[in-house]
Copies of this chain bind each other. A is one copy, B any other.
């Protein structure tokens, strides 16, 4: 079965973006093989705010060719190019997506969608690139409320730039 993998860059204090959505604090590291990373996925799953950030980067980016699934309460459901907008029944849609064939599904953010999918047991791994920076405030990697989720450390890799790549399996699936 295809895995749903929450793969994000995070500050040491747990933020995936500044409060305004910016990510200028993300350290670049040429040792990261982005081609190999992108090749593991064919679908991006994200919330509407995260989609706005991806879209604002313009055409021709690395995500251009991937199928995009956008969860939105405000945007009407439907397909536009390789973008599919889905509404409140997104857990069922993600379940169907995971049961289908294809590469893994990249849960691209944000923390609210991660929260919702974690709560229904649909997230398989949490993969964070911990940046050597403290932000003090911003968009949390996991939205409230307080629900304890034990993780299983799968791998830990230190990069020359000071980035630490951590990969965890989600230990308890609620559904």
A residues neighboring B (CB under 8 Å): 11-15, 18-19, 25, 115, 118, 126, 128, 130, 132-138, 140-153, 156, 158, 162-164, 166, 168
Contact = CB atoms under 8 A, between A and B. Distances in A.
A53 to B, nearest CB: 18
Nearest to A128: B12
- Copies of chain A in the complex: 2
A135 B133 CA distance: 21
Given A14-B15, A158-B156, A134 B138 contact: no
A144 B134 contact: no
Contacts of A162: 151-153, 168
Given A12-B126, A18-B146, A146-B138, A152 B132 contact: yes
Given A12-B128, A13-B141, A14-B15, A148 B166 contact: no
A147 B133 CA distance: 10
Nearest to A141: B13
